[in-house]
Structure 1
């Protein structure tokens, strides 16, 4: 799997307070009197953050005040002498913390996409405080008893379907969080949660520093033979003589495909592989402590391991079901990868190489194999994929054809960085849909990967329309040069906007059920499904326009792209399975496990699942820089990319047999899935739309494994 995206999780997710703007929700008098712009509602369209006023030193005060206000509200709910009702308990919970959530949405956006020393210091201070506040909510016995009372008589409350789902979600969240523990065990859990929050923040900070420190400086241009002149211009280092190659937060690095000198490729690969191992930015001790603490947390909550606890509200439900998915894919994936390795080894020999294929050779010689087998050169197609044209005439155009969505550029909305683009989106009838921000270029202040999140969440409760952003890490061209994308990067653009559509189409009363507030192994389905339109003939011909001539991409190149679609899929699937397996292995250890050596643990984890049989295929993420699971919300959940890949191929198969890209089909998907948020059991939602359970065959076919 080549995607590195996610739906960004905040440092702490308060399911009780997902609203990020607060129309019709009064804040305290102190908030209104403060000069801190974060403490008052924005007056910009859609409640978008006013980055002309927001400064780094505003966040500490605003976050602390937001926490204080939430604590005060929670205590009032819990200590009320009135009998519990939906309005004074569940709805009050849902409305609590709106100031904090509004501030936290902006804070999380900046700490992910444009951080600095000041924000990192605030982040470090706040991490345990966020954890403590969550515990103050979900481990509050008086509050839980009120929720439990309502849950036990839910059938007699005469609630509408969404309100009933909200009540059920709160009850389940309390139980999962540990509300049934003894007071002594709750105190133990609080110490675990606080320490884990601190460790996760430390991991993210260390990894960002490691990525920046790991950038390689080359002063001899000949070492970079194979890189185009335009790419060299973008890598030109302003401070020192030479060219600086930044590290992406994946094992393989994009430039390895082009670089001709093996010594250069090896140097870059090893810089990426060892960036957080044995250096001043070593994360091994951090990740082992996180894994061990999570195992203890799982046991304290009554489960065999952390994964069992974490998977309760997912589609997979149990680790055994995840492993069943793995076991069904590993033999075919590794067999295909070995075939590919054999082909690449022959290419190495054909080109006069006298060495055994290594990980840093794979992409370089695989590209030669692709050129020979499919006569397709990445440099042939990149001129047809200019970033802004792909976005507007491809991604947005597909949304118009499927869902009737149109757009308008907004240059009057302030952003947090000069590279960020803003668009206003509209329904087919002209009604406002929301604001979309696109932040596409890499920079030292941005963490690796690609993701989507909200500045403002949709909610009928507060009459909020969504304000959503996508973040990517494409190389920024030098001024005057076009931003040309690889086809993988084109797919990423479609992918992330699939997440955005999930958020834009949300149609919920309650913010904590809105949009992408669904399980890990469902949230990637809309995004992966949206990738399918990148190669759809009607869409492709509209956006694949040569940046110089404006001519459509020739059918000959389109055919080559499609024919090469199953190329290198053994490698792609195996590297993903390796990372997914590592995630599950780290999170199925027992509570008394002591991990002495993180690298040895990783090696054994790959060996016992036979994911090391093709030595030239490393995991997509090594444990020491696996940000999804140690610094974000994908712990015991990275498998979700494969799980939802099954769903998205199955869903596209339905489209293909029902007329393809039509407004009718798009509206049906929107009405039955994309607009439903977390208001129905996810497997029921999918089955109702599909007319049956998903099957894995379309995925295997798409991967060329069947």
Structure 2
């Protein structure tokens, strides 16, 4: 039987033949691709010619094309459309893929050539982008252990292999715990307080799980669990749902992640020691804008104390709502969202159930595209004839202002049991002039699907997520660099969230809302009075939300600042929060046992702070448009595109920001935006 993964992909724009791909196709395809890449690396390293940029750096950047396209496809399916068979392949391939990565970046012959070029970089006459590629690739080798002694290299490779296996198990455990949970609501009493849009989403969730019509199911998808906690009048059911949500991975069953987290932390500490660092946080932060723990903790502390004060003021309003409702129980974490919503209604005369009908998903996608068109001249052409890996996937050709092809954008918006939680952007192909590659960019969200025949209605927070991920998407689509290693979002971790968080600002602009936020039944635009209420209430709850995020970032940094892993990560998490005096009713965005940012890969390990770091940048960057007097100012937009979005990692991020803003960032716009400046 022929293997479609080992042939040219015939799809439009080089997409793989999704319908023909089976999990069993991946192992032999990976085996062939790994062998091909090893041969390419050996050939680069063993050539007789002296190392040059072309025969070493450019050749290395161009190598492994078959492996790269296969990995991008594999990880896309594993995250978005998995199955038991695919998960089995994922577990089996985690080790070999990690071993291959170590073999490439510890290849002494190849590293010797890269190192020789790095030492001579000032005499090579390189362009700015070529020099940046050389510096980044050389650092990649160093951080992967290329300069370690042979025995240490062997141990380092073993550590990385084991980490890859554990990361895979962690992520699969979280998906299993989320997919298995169902809070079934079978009576009107159990549905008490839930507005129509929550009931419709819960009814659709039941249908999606084959449970039949007439049943309502609450899942652990954020777009369903948060509205349930916000509106359900059944305190006992709120507690059940909340405990399931925060308890993911903290159990004694097959999805228990506690020991996995502990072992990952222990191995990362060993990884750091092999590099000569005291702890993993020091190793991870070495290649960031922040550079060290002091800079990170300084920012977190600057936000923490004003957020505590803001949450204390919000708490008084929540307690007032409880008193008004005749509640005589203590305020618990599963009560906060419910009574905070009632407090918001009382204070601002604003009901989310009144707002949501104006935010239909299709209209918000149109708003997202329209902003990109006004800012960057892009056009988006729907291609319903292009099939994705799942029927939910929508394809759009992205065109430049002159009609030429910019890239392909795929969007997968709905939660389902075979898809991991959260929202993310990834690439099926990165842009590269040297490779003649146009980007294929994918956005994943986890919105609760609307009932059959009705639109999916988004919360204001959902709309923010939609715009956020598309900001990442624009970073990939607008990339205009020569070398794939420097393309798109492959920038320093505390810079990568700048384009995504910056794009969020446009979703709340009155002109955008007035044009696209229209009632799904009447087509009435968002009334001025309702818009005014939204703006007035915008900062209500920011103390609570800021503490939840910042507490998660603090726990992340504290765990990775340890020289040795804690014996009990749950106790460690609890003790850390107690030291910072986090109010018990607030909690964390992510507990360690389901913190996928940290433990499904190393991507955000000792790096969850980056959202706040980038928020300093994005609020200051948006002020450039405000100062210009037009949030769509073409001159500022062109500068943003040139200096940041198109540049990828071809420029050092601090330099890129200064080129755009004319100076270093300042923190005050972020504090103002969150309502955390002193009164």
1:305 maps to 279
Distance 1:230 1:694 in 2: 41
Q: Report what 1:651 is aligned to.
A: 621
Match for residue 547 of structure 2?
574
Q: Hey, what does 2:656 align to over in structure 1?
A: 685
Distance 2:475 2:346 in 1: 40
Q: Find the counterpart in structure 1 of residue 20 from structure 2.
A: 53
Contact 1:574–1:617 (CA under 8 A) maintained in structure 2: yes
Equivalent residues in 2 for 1:71-150 (5 A)? 71-150=38-117
Question: Which of 371, 376, 383 pairs up with 2:350?
Answer: 376
Choose the corresponding residue for 1:388, options 316, 340, 362.
362
Is residue 674 from structure 1 mapped to residue 645 from structure 2 by the alignment? Answer: yes
Matched, 1:322 2:296: yes
Question: 1:430-441, aligned counterparts within 5 Å?
Answer: 430-441=403-414
Give the secondary-structure state (helix, strand or coil) at the position aligned to 1:104.
Answer: helix
Moved over 4 A (4+): 249-252
Please name the residue that 2:426 is paired with. 453
Match status 1:636 vs 2:606: yes
Residue of 168, 179, 184 corresponding to 2:135: 168
1:553 aligns with 2:508: no
Q: Which residue of 2 aligns with 1:7?
A: none
Matches within 5 A, 1:48-447: 48-236=15-203, 237=206, 238-239=210-211, 242-248=215-221, 253-280=226-253, 281-392=255-366, 394-447=367-420
- Taking the aligned partners of 1:250 and 1:629, their CA distance within structure 2 comes to 22
Query: CA–CA distance in 1 between the matches of 2:514 and 2:401?
Result: 23
- Cα–Cα, structure 1 residues 212 and 75, in superposed 2: closer, same or farther, change >3 Å? same
Which segment is superposed worse, 249-258 or 578-587?
249-258
Task: Using the TM superposition, name which of 635-644 and 538-547 deviates more.
Answer: 538-547
Report 1:535-554 matches (<5 A). 535-554=508-527
**Would you say how many aligned residue pairs link Structure 1 and Structure 2?**
668
User: What's the secondary structure of 2:189's corresponding residue?
Assistant: helix
- Asked if the contact 1:105/1:454 (under 8 Å) is kept, the reply is yes
**3-state DSSP of counterpart to 1:223:** coil
Tell me what 1:700 maps to.
Answer: 671
Change (3 A) 1:442 1:270: same
Task: Please give the alpha-carbon distance, in whole angstroms, between the structure 1 residues aligned to 2:201 and 2:323.
Answer: 33
Q: Distance in 2 between matches of 1:446 and 1:564?
A: 33
Pair 1:465 & 2:438 matched: yes
Q: Report the TM-score, using the length of structure 2 for normalisation.
A: 0.96
Gapped regions of structure 2 (runs ≥ 5)? none
CA distance in 2, matches of 1:71, 1:140: 10
The one-character-per-residue Cα deviations of 1:373-422 (angstroms, maximum 9, x if unpaired) are 11111111111111011101x10111111111111110111111111111
- 1:494 maps to which of 455, 467, 475: 467
Q: SS of 2:605's equivalent? A: coil
Structure having greater relative contact order (Cα 8 Å, sep ≥ 6): 1
Offset from partner CA, 1:161-187 (integer Å, 9 cap, x none): 211111111111111111111101111
**Structure-2 residue corresponding to 1:25:** none
2:20 partner SS: coil
Select the residue among 587, 590, 605 that pairs with 2:576: 605
1:623 to 592, 605, 622: 592
Q: CA deviation at 1:218?
A: 3.0
Q: CA deviation at 1:664?
A: 2.4
Q: Is the 8 A contact 1:457 1:466 kept in 2?
A: yes
SS of 1:509's equivalent? coil
Whether the 8 Å CA contact 1:341–1:357 is kept in 2: the answer is no
SS in 2 for 1:222: coil
Asked if the contact 1:402–1:665 (Cα under 8 Å) also holds between the matched residues in 2, the reply is no
User: Contact conserved, 2:198 with 2:224, CA < 8 A, in 1?
Assistant: no
Question: What's the CA shift for 1:476?
Answer: 1.0
Question: CA offset at residue 252 of structure 1?
Answer: 6.9
Superposed CA offset, 1:293-323 (max 9, x none): 1011101111111111112221111111111
Determine the C-alpha separation between the residues in 2 that align with 1:127 and 1:293. Answer: 16
Give distance in 2, aligned partners of 1:667 and 1:53.
42
Query: 1:685, 1:316 → 2: CA distance?
Result: 15
Separation in structure 2 between the aligned mates of residue 346 and residue 479 of structure 1, nearest angstrom: 39
Number of the residue aligned with 1:24: none
User: Which secondary structure does the structure 2 equivalent of 1:459 belong to?
Assistant: coil
Contact kept? 1:250, 1:621, Cα under 8 Å: no
SS at match of 1:705: coil
Structure 1: segments with no counterpart, 5+ residues: 1-33
Partner of 1:503: 476
Give the Å deviation of 1:654.
Answer: 1.6
SS across alignment from 1:452: strand
Instruction: Tell me if the contact between 1:441 and 1:472 (Cα under 8 Å) persists in the aligned partners.
Output: yes
- Measured after TM superposition, the shift of residue 219 of structure 1 is 2.9
Deviation at 1:249, TM superposition (A): 6.2
Is the 8 Å Cα contact of residues 46 and 466 (structure 1) preserved in structure 2?
A: no
Secondary structure of 2:458 counterpart: coil
Does the 8 Å CA contact 1:646/1:699 hold for their aligned counterparts?
yes
Whether contact under 8 Å (1:455, 1:469) holds in the other structure is: yes
Shift of 1:607: 2.2
Paired residue for 1:565?
A: 538
Q: What is the RMSD of the two structures over their aligned residues, measured on CA atoms? A: 1.6
Aligned-pair CA distance for 1:549: 1.6
Work out whether residues 361 and 456 of structure 2, in 8 Å CA contact, stay in contact via their aligned partners in 1: yes
Q: Deviations over 1:608-627 (max 9, x none)?
A: 2x152x11100110111101
Corresponding residue number in structure 2 for 1:523: 496
Distance 2:298 2:227 in 1: 32
Write the distance in 1 (CA, Å) between the matches of 2:584 and 2:232: 21
Shift of 1:82: 2.7
Q: Return the alpha-carbon distance in structure 2 between the equivalents of residues 436 and 271 of structure 1.
A: 35
Larger mean CA deviation between 235-244 and 559-568 belongs to 235-244
Q: CA deviation at 1:242?
A: 3.7
How far has the Cα of 1:230 moved from its partner? Answer: 4.5
Taking structure 1 as the reference length, the TM-score comes to 0.92
CA deviation map 1:311-362 (0-9, x unaligned)? 2221111111111111111111111111111210121011100012111111
CA–CA separation in structure 2 for the residues paired with 1:178 and 1:251: 44
